[in-house]
Structure 1
Amino acid sequence: MTTANSLRISELAVCLSLFEVGSTTLFLMGGEAKQDAWLAMLAGALAGLLLLLIHLGIHHQEPELDLFLLFRRYMGKIMGTILNLMFVGYFAYEASRNLRDLSEVTVLTLLNRTPMWLITVITILVVSNTVRYGYRVLFLMCMILFPMMLLGYTLISILIPSTGIFHAELILPVLENGWKPIFKAAFPEIISFPFGQIVLFLVFYPYARKSRNFNKVVITAYIVTALALTFINQLIIFVLGTKIAAYSTLPLLETVQMIELTEVFERMDALFTLLLFLGLGIKIAAFFHGAVIGLERVTGVNYKKWVFAVGILLCGLSFLSPTYTEHIEVGRGVTLNYSSPIFQIFLPILLFVVILLKKRMNKKTTP
C-alpha cells in the first residue's frame, strides 16, 4: 500500500468515533438499569475497551493483514474462508439493520406518506456510490462531517441543561437495586452495541500509516466517544425520567423536541434528525465496505463488482422484519445477546490465541 493511499491516524480516529456514535443515540442504552444507565454504559464501555486492546494486539502481530487475510493465514484455507464468509454475512446484516433504522426514522419524522421501500432504495443508492469509490472516500467524508456532528451534539448537550427541562435529581438513588441490573444491562447488550462493533476496524487498521501513536490515538478516540455517549444517553433520563424513557420509540428525539430557549432554537428536533441520518449513513457505509472487502478477499474479484449485488442484498435483509417493533425485538433481543458476541468476542479472541500459539511454535522450531 502506498503512502498516498494510506490513512492518517486522525482520519481513522474520527471515523471510529463517528461509527461508534452512529445509531447509538437512536436508543436508550441500559434502560434496564433505570437511573443507573450511566453505570451500565461505563461498564459496557470498559469491557469494550478490553476488546479493543485485543483487536489492537491482533493488528500489531500482523500490521499488513486485515481481518480476512488473518483468518485465511492462521485458520487455513477452508476454515479461513468459512469464517470470512461468516464475517461478510455479519457485516452485511449489521448494515441492513442500520438501513432499516434510517428508513423507519425517515418515515416517523419527515416523510410519513412516502413508501419505505423508496426511501430504502434511495439511501442504498447514495451509500453504494460512496462504497464504490473505496475506503478513502468514506474516511474523508467522516472528516468533513465530523465538525458538524461535534457541533450539533455539543449544542444539544448544552441547551438541554440550560432550558429548565433538566432534572439532575433523577440520577438518584445511585445503585438503588445494586450492581445486578447494571451488569445485566451491560452484558452482553451494551458491549455488543455499540462498543463491540469496532471489530469492523480490523478491516481498516492496515490502511493506516504506521505511527508510534497508533494505539494511543485509537484508544483516546474510543474513550472520549464512550464518555460522550454515556453523557448523551443519561440526558434522556435527566429529562424524561426512567419510566417514560423506557417506553419511548425515539427517546432522545423526544428530549430534544422539548428544547424551547428562543425562537432560534424551537426546532432542535430537525438538527437531531439530521445528525441521526448522518450517523446512520456512516455506519451503513462502514459495514457495507467491510462486506465487499471481505468478498474481494474470498473470491479475488474486485470489491467494486460486488457493490451492486451487496446493495440489493442489504435492501432485502432490511425488510426481514415486517414491523419496526419486531425489528427492534430481533435486534435488541436475539442479535445482541446471541449472534453478535460470536463475532465481536469469541472469534477475535480465538484468532488472537491461534496467532500467538503459532508464532510461539514457529520460534521453537526455528533453529
Structure 2
Amino acid sequence: MVRLGQGEIFSLMICFLLGSAIVVGWNFETKQDVWMTILLSLALGVGIFYFYLLLHSLGNWGNLIQLLELGFGRWISKGLGFIYGLYFLYIAGRVLKDFSIFVGEVLFDNIPFVVISFTLLLVVSYSCYVGIEAMARSTVILCAFTCVIILIIMCFGFLSPYFEFRNLTPVFRASWKQVLSSVFPTGLTVPYGELIVFTMLFPYINNKKALLKYGWISVCITGMLLLLAGEMILGLLNSETVNMYIFPFMKALELTSVLEFLPHLETFAVILNLIGGFVKISVFMYGGLMIMSNIFPKTKPNRRILIAATLTFLVTFILSKNIIQHLYIGLKIIPIIFHIPLQFIIPCILVICLFIKKYIIKSI
C-alpha cells in the first residue's frame, strides 16, 4: 500500500507548482502590475486546492477514478478516466517540450531536441517504475535545494547593479480587465489548476488532517517565490523589454552579479528547470499510469510504463513544430479546450453529484 508523509506531499506540490513556471511560465501583459496578477492567481490557487480536497472529502478519499465512478457510474467513469489519463500524459509531453526547448537553446544548441527529450524521459520512466514513494522521498531534498537556489538568486538579483526599483513603478496602471484576462484562464489553470493530477495522490497521504490544515502553505510558498522572481525580472529588464524574451528569467540572470562574484547565475536557472521539469513530468506521467492501471488492470506495469512513455514522447514532437507554435497552443488553445473543462467544469459537476448522493439521497 502506497503511503506518503505530509512533508513528502508538500515538497511534491512545491516542486510541481514551480515546475517550468519559474523559468518559462511568465506573463508580463500587466507590466508593473504583474504582482497583482500573481497574487490574485495565488489566492484563487488556494481556493482550487481546497476545492479538490472537498472533492475527496465528499468521495471518502478515493482517487480520481473512484470519485468519477462514485459520482457518474461505472461506464461513464471509465470514459472520463481514459480522457483524464490521456490529458495527464499530454501535459507531461508539453512540459517535456518546454524542458527540451530550454535546454537546447541555453546549453546544447547542437544537440537535437529528440536526444534531450529522450534522455529526460528515461529518467522519468525509471522514477515511475520505482514508484511514487521513492519519488516523493527524493523530492524532499530537491525541494529544499530548489528553495535555497531561488533565494540565493533573489538576493543577488535584487543587489545587482543593473537592478532599478524605478522599473517596478508606476503601479495600479493596469485595468481590472487586463488583470483578470491575465489571471483567467492562463494564470489560473497553470500551474494551480494542474493540481487536478494530485487527486490521484492525495488519498495516499498518512495524515489527511495535516493536508487539510497546512496544505495551503505549499501553494503560498510557490506563489511568493513566483512573486519575488517576477519583481526581480522586471527590475532587471524593465516592462518595455521583458516581453521580448522567450526566457525572461534567464535573461535577467545574465545581468545578475555582485562584485564579479558568481557572475554566471543563469546556470542555476538550468538546475531549477531540471528539477522542476523532472518532478512535474514524473507526477503527470505517474498520474496517467495510475489511471491506466485502474482501467486496464490486467496490463503488466512495465508495459504500461512503455506505453505511457511512448505517448508522452510522441506528444512532445507531433503537436507543435517550433517554439512559437508551442507557446501559442499552450497559452491560447489548451486552456480553453482542455484545462477549463477537465480542471473545473467536470470536477464541479462531480462535486454536485457527490453532494447529492452523500447528503440529499441518504436523507430521503
Q: Distance in 2 between matches of 1:247 and 1:238?
A: 15
Q: Which is further off, 48-57 or 208-217? A: 208-217
Show CA shifts across 1:259-284 (max 9, x none): 12244411111121111111111100
- SS across alignment from 1:72: helix
Please state how far the C-alpha of 1:312 moved relative to its aligned partner: 0.9
Q: Which is further off, 82-91 or 296-305? A: 296-305
Q: Distance in 1 between matches of 2:273 and 2:50?
A: 28
Q: Which is further off, 221-230 or 201-210? A: 221-230
8 Å Cα contact 1:292/1:310 also seen in 2: yes
8 Å Cα contact 2:14/2:218 also seen in 1: yes
Show CA shifts across 1:166-222 (max 9, x none): 222222222213211111111111001111111111110011013432212211111
Question: Match for 1:314: what amino acid?
Answer: T
Q: Distance in 2 between matches of 1:362 and 1:6?
A: 33
- 1:211 and 1:310, CA in 2 relative to 1: closer, same or farther beyond 3 A? closer
Residue of structure 2 in register with 1:65 after alignment: 62
Q: Distance in 2 between matches of 1:267 and 1:227?
A: 24
CA RMSD of aligned residues (A): 1.5
- SS across alignment from 1:265: coil
- How many residue pairs were aligned? 362
Q: Distance in 2 between matches of 1:34 and 1:338?
A: 27
- SS across alignment from 2:321: coil
Show CA shifts across 1:203-256 (max 9, x none): 100110134322122111111221221221222111111121112011000001
Match of 2:80 among 83, 88, 103: 83
Residue of structure 1 in register with 2:183 after alignment: 186
Q: Distance in 2 between matches of 1:89 and 1:353?
A: 25
8 Å Cα contact 2:58/2:358 also seen in 1: no
Residue of structure 2 in register with 1:26 after alignment: 23
1:224 and 2:236 aligned:
no
Residue of structure 1 in register with 2:345 after alignment: 346
8 Å Cα contact 2:23/2:269 also seen in 1: no
Residue of structure 2 in register with 1:148 after alignment: 145
Match of 1:314 among 312, 315, 323: 312
Q: Distance in 2 between matches of 1:102 and 1:13?
A: 23
Q: Which is further off, 149-158 or 202-211? A: 202-211
8 Å Cα contact 1:69/1:297 also seen in 2: no
Please state how far the C-alpha of 1:94 moved relative to its aligned partner: 0.5
Q: Distance in 2 between matches of 1:347 and 1:328?
A: 25
Residue of structure 2 in register with 1:362 after alignment: 361
Residue of structure 1 in register with 2:234 after alignment: 237
Question: Match for 2:71: what amino acid?
Answer: Y
8 Å Cα contact 1:28/1:236 also seen in 2: no
Q: Distance in 2 between matches of 1:81 and 1:87?
A: 10
Show CA shifts across 1:298-326 (max 9, x none): 11135443101110111110012111111
8 Å Cα contact 1:29/1:190 also seen in 2: no
- TM-score of the aligned structures, taking structure 2 as reference length: 0.96
- 1:9 and 1:145, CA in 2 relative to 1: closer, same or farther beyond 3 A? same
- SS across alignment from 1:321: coil
Please state how far the C-alpha of 1:120 moved relative to its aligned partner: 1.3
The runs of 5 or more residues in structure 1 that have no matched partner are none
Q: Distance in 1 between matches of 2:57 and 2:306?
A: 33
Residue of structure 2 in register with 1:175 after alignment: 172
Match of 1:286 among 268, 280, 283: 283
Residue of structure 1 in register with 2:257 after alignment: 260
- 1:84 and 1:311, CA in 2 relative to 1: closer, same or farther beyond 3 A? same
